[in-house]
Amino acid sequence: MKPNESDWKSKLLFSPEDITLFNSARLLILFEVLENLGIKGGIDLERSSYYDFFAANPFLIIREDDPLWLDLEIVGFETHTLGYISSSQRYRTKRSRLKQYLSLLLSKNLIEVSNVDKKILYRVTSTGIEAANQIKSMYAIAYRKSVKHIIKRLKRYSDKKLWEKSSKWLEAKSFQVDLYDMLDDVK
């Protein structure tokens, strides 16, 4: 191996989802969409983690017979990625880092915190809305569309029901079968 070969490989082998700025910006978009949908009081840490994760991975919830399937596929979401197979592990990792992302947004005055009925809620500030409106990448456009669909589906669930449904969705058994089918095709 040449001396600098590992350097360039390490620079290429990363996912944007591993970067704090990317995740914080995505959360900011989530809070901006919440505000635009009229959810003005904010949401707690748990709901933030579910909304963000499922909006970034909508096909854990949305099935092929759903009219939204094609809509989200057209804007660029992949239907069968390896990430869906390890969804419960990926969710736990994302959830464990959520406070870090929220702290960054808080430190920049892009979101604010309130205590309502002994529940800590997060919501976007006017500065956060302005900043979120500047994020116009293709991924941001697709993510916004997914957030709208996911929030409309999940906002009606109580905290307990959301946890129950999420536990089921994070199993992702149907995608595991697809992986085994793909491995058979390779042989």
Task: Let me know if residue 5 belongs to a domain.
Answer: no
Task: Let me know if residue 44 belongs to a domain.
Answer: yes
Task: Let me know if residue 12 belongs to a domain.
Answer: no
pLDDT value of residue 10? 59
pLDDT value of residue 108? 96
Higher per-residue pLDDT: 9 or 21: 21
Which whole number is the average pLDDT over 154-169? 93
Task: Let me know if residue 7 belongs to a domain.
Answer: no
Task: Let me know if residue 142 belongs to a domain.
Answer: yes
How far is it, in rounded angstroms, from Cα 130 to Cα 155? 24
pLDDT value of residue 75? 65
Give the domain range for residue 49: 17-186
- pLDDT tens for 99-127 read 999 999 999 999 999 999 999 999 999 99
Are 136 and 143 in contact, with CB atoms under 8 Å apart?
no
Task: Let me know if residue 4 belongs to a domain.
Answer: no
| Dihedral sign, Cα of residue 187, residue 171, residue 85, residue 71 | positive
Orientation angle between helical segments 159-169 and 45-56, nearest 10 degrees: 30
Which whole number is the average pLDDT over 25-54? 94
- pLDDT tens for 44-82 read 999 999 999 999 888 788 777 777 765 666 666 666 654
What mean pLDDT value characterizes the chain? 81
High-pLDDT (> 90) share of the chain, %: 47
Question: CB count, 10 Å around CB of 140?
Answer: 16
For the chain, the domain total comes to: 1
Which whole number is the average pLDDT over 132-144? 91
Q: Is the pLDDT of residue 180 over 90?
A: no
pLDDT value of residue 7? 64
Task: Let me know if residue 2 belongs to a domain.
Answer: no
Give the least confident one: 28-37, 137-146, 173-182. Answer: 173-182
